[in-house]
Amino acid sequence: MKRRMNGYLLAGLIVTGLMAALILVGLVWTPYDPDALLAGPKLEGPSLAHWLGTDSFGRDIFSRVLQGAGTTFLIALSTVAIGAVCGTAAGALTGYFGGVVDEVLMRLNDALTAFPSILLALVLISILGPGNKYNVVIALGIVFIPSFARVTRTAFAALRDVNYVKSARLMGASSGRILVRQILPNTTQVLLPAITIGFNNAVLAEASMSYLGIGVTPPDASLGYMLSEAQGMLTSAPWYALGSGGAIVLLIFGVGLIGEGLQRRNGGVS
């Protein structure tokens, strides 16, 4: 019997879908050039011409939010992809084979986990070079590997001795086929919520580093860097912080609802 979509999942898909639609529009069109100086009067409030007002350089904030949200979204998506693929591979090998493989890879995983995530990301970006979005993706991707490895290891260890895996092994299926075809599809109930949590953490991590000036920096727009710029204008131009901060909140809120909905669906809670 097909399970009914719960309210959390539906609301999350709607909010995230709307944000994704705006981000896709921003990739091909914005009302103004996001980097164009004096597109309007400096620090002008929201109006029909500038929906979210303008900043201290006369740049259209709505256009910059569209571009910045796209940058943050793509960085978070790429970060989670790196962490999920590498972490799932490591967790699958350790959970299925155990023994020496488990000891070696888990010790490496523990070494990465020993450092606070944000501190490790700061160290990696300092080594790779700050201000480059590709370096931010690589650094955050490495930081997210341990969390996915732990989740996947537990799931694969629990499934390696179930009946259908034993049957596949007796029929001569290779370890690679068992891992990919038999066990991996049955770990989605664990992996999908982990991916949504990882995405939200990646959004916050990217925004935090850009806010500190070591993440994405001009000419690329970033929601975190825009928040940093808006900090000094909270009283004179509060719409600047509301625009960039609101985009971050909506991104996290939508994906968070999807994660909550998936957990409730897997747990049978409507």
CATH number at residue 85: 1.10.3720.10
Range(s) of the domain holding residue 249: 7-266
Within-domain flag for 259: yes
User: Which two structure tokens, joined as six digits, stand for 20?
Assistant: 């994704």
* pTM of the predicted structure, to 2 decimals: 0.91
Mean pLDDT is lowest, of 121-135, 183-197, 198-212, for 121-135
Classify residue 53 as left (phi > 0), alpha (psi -120 to 50) or beta. Answer: left
User: Which two structure tokens, joined as six digits, stand for 221?
Assistant: 């727009």
Q: pLDDT value at position 2?
A: 46
Within-domain flag for 2: no
Structural domains counted in the chain: 1
User: What is the tens place of the pLDDT at every residue in 78-121?
Assistant: 999 999 999 999 999 999 998 888 888 888 888 888 878 878 88
Q: pLDDT value at position 114?
A: 80
User: Which two structure tokens, joined as six digits, stand for 48?
Assistant: 């029909």
What's the distance, Cα to Cα, between the start and end of the chain in Å? 15
Q: What is the mean pLDDT of residues 35-41?
A: 88
Q: How far apart are CA 251 and CA 199, in angstroms?
A: 10
Q: Phi, psi at residue 131, to the nearest 5°?
A: 85, 0
Q: Is the pLDDT of residue 158 over 90?
A: yes
Within-domain flag for 1: no
Within-domain flag for 161: yes
- Position of tokens 């732990």? 150
What percent helix, strand, coil does the chain show, rounded to 5? 75, 0, 25
Radius of gyration in angstroms for the set of CA atoms belonging to the chain, rounded to a whole number: 22
Q: How far apart are CA 110 and CA 98, in angstroms?
A: 16
Residues 162, 104 contacting (CB under 8 angstroms)? no
Q: pLDDT value at position 85?
A: 96
